[in-house]
Amino acid sequence: MRVITLVWGFYFLLRGLVRLTALLTLSTNSYALVVALTDAPFLIALLAWSVYYSVGSFRRSEEWGPAIAAAEAQR
């Protein structure tokens, strides 16, 4: 889960820098546009990647991999 935490932390840091730059250099309407364009699409994409990555990590792990494979084989 370290990778997911680092990616989310980097995203929030980068998002904060983009918002600060937009706040200091753009008008109110332009700032609102930057927030709208950078919030939802990136959050949804990052959330989807987090789920995909964590499921793959569990499947590859020595502890949970065999249990997941056995559970899927019983279907």
CA angle 67, 74, 63 (to 5 degrees): 5
47: its two tokens: 């959330």
Main-chain phi, psi angles of 61, to 5 degrees: -70, 150
Asked if pLDDT for residue 67 goes beyond 90, the answer is: no
CA atoms within 13 A on the CB side of 12: 6
| Of 44 and 72, more confident | 44
**Helix pair angle (28-38, 40-60), 10° resolution:** 20
pLDDT tier for residue 63 given thresholds of 50, 70 and 90: confident
Question: Per residue in 19-62, pLDDT tens?
Answer: 999 999 999 999 999 999 988 899 999 999 999 999 888 888 88
